[in-house]
Amino acid sequence: MTPPPNTEDALPSAAHMRRNLLPRMHAPMRTFMVAVLTMVWLAALAAGALLLLRQAIGVWTEGVVAEATAQVLPLDGERAEQTLARARRVADALAGQPGVRETRVLSPAEGRALLEPWLGDSGLALNLPMPVLIAVRLDPRGPARIEDLRRVLKERRFANVMLDSHGRWVRELSDLASTSLLLGAGVLVLLLLALVVLVTHAARSALEANRGVIEVLHLIGAQDRFIARQVELHFLRGAFLAASAGIGLAWLTFALLAFLAPAVGIRESIREVFFGFGEQTLQAYLIWLLIIVITTLVSLTAARISATRILASMFHENG
């Protein structure tokens, strides 16, 4: 019965023993970890989708805000070439204004292409007096005010020119944007609530399954504080690992979408938001880190409360 000479070397360290006071990998603990992983993954996806939405909205609104359109309508009896020449002068006048990057007179073909959805593809369109369109690109950092541009046109006595700022579009778009952002935030909040409920519940069941172990520790003289500390460390480790895995999975999901998403725009947005070097990427990772921290704290608290309850039921008044 003499132990082999290397028996002692193979003995566990004290740290290892303390780490393993509660069983690491039994079914209820695995359930807890899977619950954490899944919920964190979903929350991270929702948060990521929200960031993508915000970024996309930013791009659209910027594009729309930074553009205006001028229509030069034909005067009575004016020939098309004359209208076009007038449009060129309007374009030149606008191009010199502060807050305007460049102007471009659209060719009649381009103008027709823009109007086609309204007028149809019929040859009739060719015979109508066609307005000449000017695309006015504004400086996105300090766009010229439309009223100022109108005043300029008036001062120079350009007749029959209409300047459109896309203002209605911008308003509607920003309404839509804030609605969808709000909706996304709502989904995220609901998901986080579900995460708290589920993770709390799973932590409690996992600990309840270890009641026998806790009871033995209690009966051989462990202090409540010692047991509570082991439980906390146990769930700290489990929750942190599972939550990190959930975030890793979300990262992988977006990495895949960055290559496989059906629309180029989405792929580019994903690259910019999650795999860029800008503030947005930093924000995304901070939010994900926050999700890990929240989940770990929730698990820790739930485990601590359950452990206190289990311990309180031992050597209790009613046996």
Partner 1 sequence: MDAPDKPAGPLIRFENVGLRYGAGAEVLRDISFDLRAGDMVFLTGPSGAGKSSLLKLMYLALRPSRGLVRLFGQDVSTLPRPALAELRRRIGVVFQDFRLLDHLSTFENVALPLLVRGEQLKNYRQDVLELLEWVGLGGRIHARPSVLSGGEQQRAAIARAIVSRPEVLLADEPTGNVDPALARRLMRLFMELNRMGATVVIATHDPEIIRATPGATVMHLNRGFLQFHASEDGLPLQEAPE
Q: Site residues (CB under 8 A) for partner 1? A: 1-3, 7-8, 10-14, 17-18, 20-24, 26, 212-213, 215-226, 314-319
To partner 1, the closest distance from the beta carbon of 220 in angstroms equals: 5
Output 20 or 82, the one with its CB closest to partner 1.
20
Cα–Cα distance between 62 and 70 in angstroms, integer?
A: 19
Q: What is the 3-state secondary structure (H, E, C) of 151-217?
A: HHHHHCCCCCEEEECCHHHHHHHHHHHHHHHHHHHHHHHHHHHHHHHHHHHHHHHHHHCCHHHHHHH
Tell me 318's DSSP state. Answer: T
Cα–Cα distance between 48 and 284 in angstroms, integer?
A: 7
To partner 1, the closest distance from the beta carbon of 241 in angstroms equals: 18
Output 4 or 262, the one with its CB closest to partner 1.
4
DSSP string, 253-273: HHHHHHHH-SSHHHHHHHHHH
Cα–Cα distance between 200 and 195 in angstroms, integer?
A: 8
To partner 1, the closest distance from the beta carbon of 235 in angstroms equals: 16
Instruction: Give yes or no for a contact between 269 and 55, defined as CB atoms under 8 angstroms apart.
Output: yes
To partner 1, the closest distance from the beta carbon of 237 in angstroms equals: 15
To partner 1, the closest distance from the beta carbon of 215 in angstroms equals: 8
Output 217 or 257, the one with its CB closest to partner 1.
217
Output 117 or 319, the one with its CB closest to partner 1.
319
Name the token pair of 254. 């977006």
Contacts of 142 (CB under 8 A, 6+ apart): 98, 99
Output 11 or 162, the one with its CB closest to partner 1.
11
To partner 1, the closest distance from the beta carbon of 12 in angstroms equals: 6
Output 215 or 272, the one with its CB closest to partner 1.
215
